[in-house]
Structure 1
Amino acid sequence: MTAVPPTSHPATGELVVVTGMTGAGRSTAAKELEDLGFYVVDNLPPSLLRDVVRLVDESKGMGQPIAVVVDVRSGSFFGSLQANLAQGATGRRATLVFLDATDEILVRRQEAARRPHPLQGAGRLLDGLQREREVLGDLRSEADLVIDTSSLNVHQLTARIREAFGSPDASRLKVTVVSFGFKYGIPVDADFMADMRFLPNPHWIPELRPMTGRDSGVADFVRGQPGATEFLDGYVPVLAGVAEGYLREGKRFMRIAVGCTGGKHRSVAMAEEICRRMSDHGYDARTVHRDLGRE
């Protein structure tokens, strides 16, 4: 299975809709999109989406990429947003980006900014966040790209946006393979998750313990264990098959999480191999080792 090669600039006719939880980084994402050449409109009522696209098309041409930021202050307009995106009423390829974070992190950020939540009313900040999650639940489930910013700083979030929308390669599926340690928590923004704890742990082999899954000694050990090759031979074709379906449905992002106990040996080695095989299938694949060096 091979991905269709790119034929156009990624931003041509593109419409990116950024939404998500208050405090999750919408403003940071919007600023980076603006730096990437997008025409950015903040806090847009979704009912005006088609009007904005029409005006930009008339004034700047249909090749001008557009990004709009929609937040919970738009209230009942969210139904309009979903209708517009589902019907393709704008005439552009639309990508819905949802930014999220844990309640604990969002509360901390809002308190640091000394801002009340727009939905908290006379209640607590956490009450406002819970109401917001209820309002945005359907949008999150329909998003093309979900970014969990809980552990990301401003520069890391900027890099994620640039990685997604700054490449000159829009029609290829962007595949990110993330290694992680279960003891540090699972990535909540993954489309797929695989558990490598069925393989022997190199941590218990003294000469391999200080190494990581990026080192050939550990990588060879992990991939040489019974069941490792069988897993890869079965799992990667499934991922490639789903990736083809994503492309047919207009989705351009896939995030695969690969975990082990600490995120140092088995998950890293297997994530690198999955990435290599997905690249061989023709996808724009890369690895992120979330917990490497954390212990």
Structure 2
Amino acid sequence: MTREHPRDILLVTGMSGAGKSTVLNALEDMGWEVLDNLPVRLIDRLLAPMPGARGDEVDRPLAIGIGAQTRDFDPDRIVKLINRLRSEDGHDIGTLFLDCAGSELERRYSETRRRHPLALDRPAADGIAQERGLLAPLRSWANRLIDTTNLSANALATQIRTTFAREGHGEPTLSVMSFGFARGLPRDADLVLDMRFLRNPHWDDALRPGTGLDPAVAAYVARDPAYDEALAAIDQLLLLLLPRYQAEGKSYVTIAFGCTGGRHRSVHVAERTAARLRAAGFSPTVAHRDLGAAPQDSLEGAPTAADREVAREPGTKLK
């Protein structure tokens, strides 16, 4: 009889030093629940239905790391357990085996100066040979196998993210913010884009009290001759970079737009860019760090040539 909410489960096993920690870390970054070296006899208890469990807790995929150093490790017992979890409880459970050539494992142990868990007082080669024989039944039975001999940790993590990506999991948390250079750079920004090349609404008496959220201010900024070309280039850059950040497993991406005071140009461009990203399928949050800061002429410096050009427009005053 199957349970009402079967879990999507992946057992991660293989040779010590083949990359189990890298795989589990990548899965955790993708939103999986991860447990390492859980005693085999406790897996049943872990998967037992819990009264009142939330749907998101049940739906969250689970990765369990097991290996030769796991308490009560027995490959034959593990195979029987997995078969029972599939047939009786209906869990979608798979096994990923990480293999690696013995010479490469010896090199990794030598570089890190770690001892093999099965050869604490002997050469690593002895432990590797013993472990390979112990894990042979699991290797033959596993439905996924990755040979990490020629893979760097980053390449292995990328392969895991590609193979096990699920919709809604693994996407970086995307933030778009505005700020004023007069109050310093934001500490957590990954990309900082300077909007001070655009003409400044601060020098229009009617617009100075407003912010980049006001339609009149937004229209003023958008009439800058460089606006369309520059913002199109920024859009193209972000649409190129964001999927690459996701592929590299970056958990947080913050894009910061700055202007002098953080009230006009940066605010408008941040809102406009966030809307473009939403239209492209991303889900950014927007924050305006310095929106409440008081305007001050001395912070803005002298009007630029672009600002002075606006003085020729009808109905525009320039200090």
Q: TM-score w.r.t. structure 1 length?
A: 0.50
> TM (normalized to structure 2)?
0.46
RCO greater where, 1 or 2, for CA within 8 Å and sep 6 or more? 1
